[in-house]
Structure 1
Amino acid sequence: ALGDQINADDYQRLLFHDKALIPVELKSQESNPGAEFGNLTQIRSDSLQSPWLNRFRGEYANGLTSARFSDWWDTSAITQSDLPEEEKKVEESEQKAPATPVELATLTNNSPFMLMMNHERGRVLLLTSSLDADWNNLPAKPDYVTFLHEAVFELSSGRVFRNLQTDEPIVIPVPAKTTVEQIAFLDPNGKPATGTIKADPAANAATFQSQNTSLPGIYNLSPKPGVQTDLKEDRFVVNFDRSESDLTPLNEVQQKTLTEESHLTFFKTLDELKQAMFSDVSETEFWRILLLIFLLLMVGEMFLTRRLVQGGHSTLPEQSQT
């Protein structure tokens, strides 16, 4: 997390160049002079698209997107086009995919707030504002501790992610002796996509990594035909809509189970459904019974009132005066 105590030149030289932890450019330290006039700088709720950040969006959050930022660092990711020509040639000769940080969250002024990128066998998460209360009031929000927990869990998790968001990197372990020439990595259009394999001889392992996930759909990683390798075919889904239902029709066994346990009735045609809805046999409304009870109560009330009126009012005996 960046703050007011960092030296931009040293950070840029040691940590933020294209060969270091995360390739970003520290442009300038920015502030919000209009906060006292109601011009607030906050986290954009619609920018929290990563699965582990969905719970902090405006419709679910308990304060994270309402945090106010007074200062932050204006940053930008260093892309392949920003590199010098000599470094571009080195990247191409090594057949490496360009490593670009992914913006996980932005501020309401469209400045990046949270960037993440794979580095070696881990991940790097960069926040452009402080984690304490110097530049924002994040620590005062109920979601603050939960956010830190989720961030640490995301960074330390070793599982393979197969449901990804756009521009999130694909990272998966592969057999130690696997090479780029032995694999076929296809995008959702069935066209070859670039990727890189980093070997770790000390651990007798290797990792396949690709940053080319800008297209939504299914990505396929498999060995090329005729190649002898221990690599198994694998698939990854980018921008998978988890709200979609499975439209596969139920079989007879599933329908029978739901009928017996949940008391559901299945109809094969629309005519059968209409007949069941409008027939007397399927009538389950209670409004007629309730209306009859209401009418009986009204008649009873009228009868009692009539008896009281016909009986007249009883007179109390006069008390003797003393």
Structure 2
Amino acid sequence: MSFGVLNSLMLLGLVAVMLPVIAHLLSKRRYDVVYWGAMRFLELGRRTRQRIRIQDLLLLFLRMAMIACVALALARPWGSGALVGGLAESVARDVVFVIDGSTSMAWQEDGITPHQQAIQSVHESLEELGGADSVSIIDARRTPRLVVGPVTGDWKPIRDALATLPEPSGMSNIPAAVAEAIKLLAKGTHVAREVIVLADDQRFPWQSDNVYAWERVDDRLRQSEIRPVIRSVTVGPQGKNRVNVSVGPIELSRELTVPEFPVRIRAQISQSGETAVQKRVRLEIGGKRLDEKSTEVHLLPQGESTVEFEHVFASEGSFLVSVVVEDDPLPQDNRSEAVIVVSSGIPVLLVDGDARLDETNSETFFAKSVFASSGKRSPWVRATVIRPSEWNDSILEKTRVVFLANIPRLSLEQWAALGEFIANGGGVVIAPGDRIEPDHWNALVDEDSQPLLPAELTSIEQDQQQPDAEAISISSDSLEDSWLRRFRKETGVDFWQTRFAKWWKLAPRETTTGGDEEVTGNPESETGLRVTAEVLGSLSNGDPLLVSRDLGQGSIVLLAVPLDADWSTWPAKNDFVPFLHEMVFHLTSTGVRRNLEVGEPLFISLDDEDKLQDFVVSGPGVEKGRLREVFQRGLRLGEFGETEIPGRYEVRLANNATETEHYVVREDGQESDLRSLQESDWQLLAADDRIERATDPSEALALKAENQPRAELWWLLLGIVVVMLIGEVALTRKMVQEGHAALEELEAVAV
């Protein structure tokens, strides 16, 4: 048995119980005492005087008790246990329904999905709840979504929200959703509080082995003044070994490309069945199936296979690409999507640190030749060559990538402009040679006082060319990044066969973290981003060949060799041409991203004349979303942050549906694991009476005596107040009829 109150602040009203005492003491001082000897013959007897005092004290007690009961009633006390069990059936409740929104809830069987069953169950539960009950809805996703809150007794917004609940997709975090429901119930107004979880029997969302996730739930339960009851209702197929074929996240060779340049699209196909299957996988562009881009995959039991397509885009724009496998009972993970942006020729600036009259001996000769020969109808890359002395403030305005070829040093003004260029999404490639001043370059820092270069230039190394030793070349196994994988030994032509006579020994910087300021509408605001130094490729002796780091929205790539043929056979290799193009495309993909993670805001670049109200965002659970204006390092952007649900998002002009920018919020594919909860998992979940299992919502809503039901007691206290009020009136009337008032006056005069 336990007791408590809902409005504890009302207990301050108990101070008012002193008012009758104060009034009684003040009434005793109404008379002046006159000593008159003749009046002593009228003195009351001892017994009469004692009776009067008892009646006074009883009246005082009644008045104090009435005030105390009123204060307690306003505090809304409640009790639980056998004594109040009979009062619980009519008690109003606060109920939070947690609906699992993960991909597995889209399993189709008998014409209905578990997600649809869960929604239908909530509708049926609303019919069973009383008019005084309050309800809220939480959509369990990776981050819980409060669909309707706080708890409300109006069923209309509840039913409207259920009708527009987004389709299940991605993963869900049931412990986080339950913790959010408990937090929501802490603001409830009723003593009976329940959390009802509607989910299938998939094990993954429950995280039964995640001690820390459930410890957070237990902490919320311990902190609750009124501990809610948590019940789980399983919807959909139970105890079945569901066979599922899924498509993993798409991996692109580049997210930004140009017309006529091939893009490779890779994805992993997996299956959870115990028998081998044959499945057809196809490629779709903009929702249209390409019959010539399809393949058959053979999947072993619990096996996986990788498919790769190559596609050439003929025009500019943003394109939605999809890898699709044949349908099965879970269509949500039979498709994986990504966005590729096709742009016109990319402007590149080549800064030559050793320009010669004979261009063939210049540092940038080979790079310029590579870019000039690209594209059949228009160049993929538009390259401009300048000397360091020709640098000016406007040179970077129409440039996407800058190559710094063996430049001894740059002025502080040039580096300031270059740092802003990188932070705004530009890319920089540094190709050092024998003319650079390493101390100058190593001392450069960014605006957060972090080393600017991703690696330190330590010394120039040279191949000793021992007779029995192999020449220094490129380690094929080190080319792991997506844009470099095509140059590995098994897929490339001759990139890995490059021979190096000299190279700069690079010492990668340690990873550090920049500022953590929030992006706001202030143009001066800057976002602190994580600074990473990553080795993208190595030489055969283990020395780094390419080291990269992010700075703001852009990236810096530091090479160990120059771009000419002085130190290596690189320019003579067939793969040198596609390598430079791939590096340019890779660096231009770092600006505004189109393929996002769950919860990562999407951005769109805005011109000065663009108005926010002209843009509309649509996507899972979003019909007419609006952008928020932000500034990042001087760039005007539109931001949309409601990307908690995986899927396809679109930004378009409100009056022009044809101009659409595509975005995709991707999941990691873990939700395709359909293994069921076992009895051992339920034992962990139900520890310390944390969760109860119910077969259906009706059982979950049933309040039973053995579950220690709670009942509010305020009405009982008000009944006691009425009884005491009647008693106070009766006692006062009796005292008046017995002449108590006159006797008080005589007693005062006699004294």
Give TM class, smaller chain. 0.3 to 0.5
Higher relative contact order (CA 8 A, sep 6+): 2
TM-score normalised by length of structure 1: 0.48
Question: Which of structures 1 and 2 has the bigger CA Rg?
Answer: 2
TM-score normalised by length of structure 2: 0.22
